Amino acid sequence: MSAPRLLRLTRATRGFTPARAFTRGYATSELKPNLSYLEPTHPDSVVPASTQSLITDHSEYLLNTYVRPPLLFTHGKGLTLTDSSGRQYLDFTAGIAVTALGHSDDGVNKIISEQSSKISHASNIYWNEWAGELAKSLVEKTRQHGGLGLSSTSKKEGGKVFFSNSGTEANEGALKFARAYGKTISEDKTGIVCFTNAFHGRSMGALSVTPNPKYQAPFAPLIPGVRVGEYNDTNVEKIKELIDEKTCGVIVEPIQGEGGVGEGKREWLELVAKRCREVGAVLIYDEIQCGLFRSGTMWAHSEFPLEAQPDIVTMAKPLSNGFPIGAILVRSSIAATISPGMHGTTFGGQPLATAIGVHVISRLSDPTFLKSMKSVSKHLDDLIKRLPVLFPTLLKDEIRGRGLIRGIAFKDETKPGELVRLARERGVLLLTAGKDAVRLVPALVVTEEECDKAMGVIESCLHLMAEKA
């Protein structure tokens, strides 16, 4: 990045002033980090006695699979979460990329109130008024915005939707659909391919395509017939060897969330898609974290050439703004191989979850909303680009992700957790991602001012880390 560009960023960013040089650990440049948040304002050690008592009591009964700080959030609004002691936190996690419209959104609350007063659950033995409406919205919005190989000018190719309760279940169903389709070609066409650093869920099938020993080892052996390829490896011969005539399905995240916010190269994804077409394998894009406008477009693959678009897209997290739901969007040609009784769900597609989903998709796809979100995303991008220049001893010289799914990559894999802790003690909530990154996935309603605050805290924390190094 050139010096004039750095100066433009400085002048455009509230609260930052040029400097000739920096202290130990900083680059010599015209940029100066925000040092407004050096002192902790939200220390983890300050916990009301009543909260600690409740945590102790609940720990006797909850099967705890999470290492949690002693924080208990009681309510939220927008990007603000309030804990039991009344402290407010700026949430740049969105409940792990879930609350796209923010916490306790008025529009979502209204839908919940109205629909739950009528009917919240029946069963899939019968029709309800909202499941089909949400399915129609997902297919037609995908046709409009791009994705799944659907054309905005022709309805020759269509799509079908199956609703589940979570992203893991969506991926589990997608793998089953790929197996079912493969067996229409050959009974032994059952192989599945996934890629390094992937995270597709924790059920046995989804876990089997999540090649991380930390997650897999306690539950081995997993399902057979899974091959693992190298993410972004464009070696054509390796791709041919990996995806062969026995492969029924290939699952991949266009942007990896849990795996470190790495983004699939367009060239690589095109090669993978081409090989899938050659051997008749179903291509599954897991967009549970990067989909539904978080990347800047409806799907992270929306603007890919048709040849690189998938046969199945899985989604979940933001679809009902935190109310549990997942969905599998399938090309009609693949869906035709799935008949009644082959798959099912008790809660998936219930009226309450899908009514909320219709509202969420309508809001997220509104052109005015998208224009504002892209403007804020650009502002955040400018702020993130400062970091590797300011802190070259700590950070890799790379910017990960796009839109409002972004990654800050560290040289030392012990540092991401430290940044998350330091930021939390200054009132900003962040997430780690993979081994080496901190993930920023704020609600899609985030403002420029909120981005300024979050990045100001991050710069102050990185300053402390650089000084200690």
**pLDDT more than 90, % of the chain:** 91
Burial 277-288 (b: 16+ CB within 10 A, else e): eebebbbbbbbb
User: What pLDDT was estimated at residue 456?
Assistant: 98
Condensed to tens digits (0 to 9), the pLDDT of residues 212-255 reads: 999 999 999 999 999 999 999 999 999 999 999 999 999 999 99
Q: Is the pTM of this model over 0.85?
A: yes
For 143-163, what is the mean pLDDT? 91
Band (pLDDT 50/70/90 cuts) for residue 270 is very high
Give the containing element (helix H, strand E) for 407. Answer: strand 405-410
Mean pLDDT value of segment 126-130: 97
Are 240 and 276 in contact by the 8 Å Cβ rule? The answer is no
pLDDT at 189: 98
pLDDT at 2: 37
Is the pLDDT reported for residue 306 higher than 60? yes
**Average per-residue pLDDT for the chain:** 93
Using the predicted structure, report yes or no on whether residue 6 has a pLDDT greater than 50. no
Pairwise CA distance, residues 414 & 62, whole Å? 29
Domains of the chain listed by start with CATH number: 32-103+373-435+450-468 (3.90.1150.10), 119-365 (3.40.640.10)
The whole-number pLDDT of residue 55 equals 95
Mean pLDDT of the 263-289 span: 98
pLDDT of residue 368: 98
**What pLDDT does residue 469 have?**
81
User: Would the pLDDT of 28 be above 60?
Assistant: no
Residue 45, both tokens: 């050690």
Nearest by Cα to 275 from 308, 313, 232: 308
The share of the chain scoring above pLDDT 70, in percent, equals 94
Over residues 132-158, the mean pLDDT reads 92
11 has a pLDDT exceeding 80: no
Confidence of residue 30 (pLDDT cuts 50, 70, 90): confident
Beta strands in 256-384 (DSSP E): 282-286, 312-315, 326-331
359-377 pLDDT, tens digit per residue, is: 999 999 999 999 999 999 9
| Model confidence at 156: pLDDT above 90 | no
Query: What's the pLDDT tens digit per position in 38-97?
Result: 999 999 999 999 999 999 999 999 998 998 999 999 999 999 999 999 999 999 999 999
Alpha-carbon torsion, ordered 296, 298, 303, 306, to 10 deg? 160
Q: What is the DSSP string of 81-98?
A: EEETTS-EEEESSHHHHT
- Average pLDDT of the residues in 119-140: 97
- Band of pLDDT at residue 323, cut at 50, 70 and 90: very high
pLDDT tens for 374-420 read: 999 999 999 999 999 999 999 999 989 999 999 999 999 999 999 99
- How many residues belong to the chain? 469
Q: Could you report the per-residue pLDDT of 327-338, keeping only the tens digit for each?
A: 999 999 999 999
pLDDT confidence of 260, banded at 50, 70, 90? Answer: very high
